[in-house]
Structure 1
Amino acid sequence: MLLLIAGTTEGRVLFHRLKGTGLKLIATSLTDYGINLLNGEGDSNFEAVKGSLDKTGLSQLIEEKSITKIIDASHPFALEISKHAMDAAREQGVVYLRYERSPLILPENNLIKRTDGFQQAAEEAVGFGRVIFLTIGVRNLQPFVSTAEKQEKNIVARVLPLESSLKACRENGLQPSQIVALQGTGSKDLNKELFKFYQASVLVTKDGGTTGGTLTKIEAALELNIPVIFIQRPNLDYGKNVYHQMNKLIEQIINNEK
């Protein structure tokens, strides 16, 4: 039995690619939305588990389901779940495999400012005008909201149209006029119109890789001469079993399970 930490596009693609191989698979996702997408695939060898599993929860799942491998396809910024997965795999003596989406290759432009964390990005962003346009998800809104309030700046956050995302925005004090709830990457032209409509002074985004339309957002901002604060990936040692090519990861899984 394999345990797939999904919740990303790659996680769903991995599940789809492994379908029909005869391998049994359990996949985890944080949200009902993610679970529904996985369940929609309809495979008798597949089980979906909702929730954020800590090391203890993962260890219990490994024992109960006789897991032989953990496949970590979580987001590059989801450090805690990856740490828990590696710890649980090590303690339970199972193999840990990491699929790491390739980092984004940025265009050369003086308008792009690289930062190493959300607090640093927030402190940089307030120096670029009145409206800070965020495309960073909802888990790290607080540094931007608190820093913007002190500097009398305005926050606009583009988030997924999920109740959990809207709740996080409300809990961080954002008003409806500050929330853009939109699914999908969107075209460059759509992003340009959003930046113009909300009069964005600076775009803050993070290195989620080529998936998610980050480069399209950056290109839209640059064409409008809007500065970009780019949050680089945190450093985490995933060990030796890290794959950047999905085909090689799938080949490794299949060859060692059959």
Structure 2
Amino acid sequence: MKHSILILGGTAEARKLAERLAGDPRFVTELSLAGRTRAPAEQPVPVRIGGFGGPQGLAAYLGEKGISILIDATHPYAAQISRNAADAAMLADVPLVALRRLPWQRQAGDRWTEVDGVPQAVEALGSVPRKVFLTLGRQELLPFEAAPQHQYLVRSVDPVEPPLDIPHATYITSRGPFAETDEARLLRDHGIEVIVAKNSGGSASYGKIAAARAFGIETVLIRRPDLPDVPSAETIEDMLALLDGGLDHGPEPLK
């Protein structure tokens, strides 16, 4: 019997996991994307785009589609989606496992200022004008309008529309991964003095962290939110091993 898997995605790991599962005859896999990116990367399995309507809506979808395994492979900062997934899995009595990459760890030479959220990151920039590299999602940029004294370099996957109501901002659109050498060139060319980023973990966006360390540039790093305590895997290989060995509960053992 094939097992029907729904992956809540939006990360590079979700895509790679879907690619691995697409060729496995034991599974029928679907990938769900929130739809925040206008032109998402091509995916190796059927894709559903858009929200579910909270935990109840997701639970209903799991039942309608006969999903036997739910995988939360969303971004480490998508806390609300992860909470909805945990609640929906309980409501639908479907096993849930999360694919959660480890956060970056401070190394010698890192000049990190760790804060709990975007408003705190704005405050950490201080009142003295600085050249700031913002590497946050488009939906999280508005609070920086409260600090118009800085010069901002803003990088996002999609254009920031409308632009921020600040006098000094340069916008670039690009999709990772970003190599350290390219990030070093970007920081140097724009005279960046401080980076604002999330502790996303993984290798795709670590280049800016390594480049900042090499140049002695301060990084204002937003801490990860608390996530539901559910079974989890740190890597794709760990996740595949979990699926091979079977989850703690479910309609049938995975064989």
Sort the TM-score into its range (normalised by shorter chain).
0.7 to 0.9
- Equivalent position to 2:5, from 2, 8, 12: 2
Cα contact 2:109–2:216 (8 A) shared by 1: no
> Secondary structure in 2 aligned to 1:221?
helix
Q: Distance in 1 between matches of 2:129 and 2:23?
A: 53
Q: Distance in 2 between matches of 1:141 and 1:191?
A: 21
Question: Is 2:23 the partner of 1:20?
Answer: yes
- How high is the sequence identity, in percent, across the aligned residues? 25
For residue 213 of structure 2, what is the amino acid of its counterpart?
L
Tell me how far 1:141 sits from its aligned partner.
0.9
Moved more, 98-107 or 48-57: 48-57
For residue 154 of structure 2, what is the amino acid of its counterpart?
A
Which structure 1 residue ranges, 5 or more long, are not aligned?
none
For residue 148 of structure 1, what is the amino acid of its counterpart?
A
Moved more, 84-93 or 172-181: 172-181
Q: Distance in 1 between matches of 2:209 and 2:128?
A: 16
Cα contact 1:113–1:229 (8 A) shared by 2: yes
| Structure 1 ranges of 4+ moved more than 4 A | 174-177
RMSD value, Cα: 2.2
Residues 1-258 of structure 1 aligned to structure 2 (within 5 Å): 1-22=4-25, 23-31=27-35, 33-34=39-40, 37-38=42-43, 41=44, 46-53=45-52, 54-109=54-109, 111-127=111-127, 129-143=129-143, 145-149=144-148, 152-160=149-157, 165-166=158-159, 168-170=160-162, 172-173=164-165, 178-214=170-206, 216-239=207-230, 241-254=231-244, 255=246, 256-258=253-255
Which structure 2 residue ranges, 5 or more long, are not aligned?
247-252
Cα contact 1:128–1:227 (8 A) shared by 2: no
Q: Distance in 2 between matches of 1:123 and 1:115?
A: 10
TM-score, normalised with respect to structure 2: 0.85
Moved more, 168-177 or 188-197: 168-177
More helix by share: 1
> Secondary structure in 2 aligned to 1:83?
helix
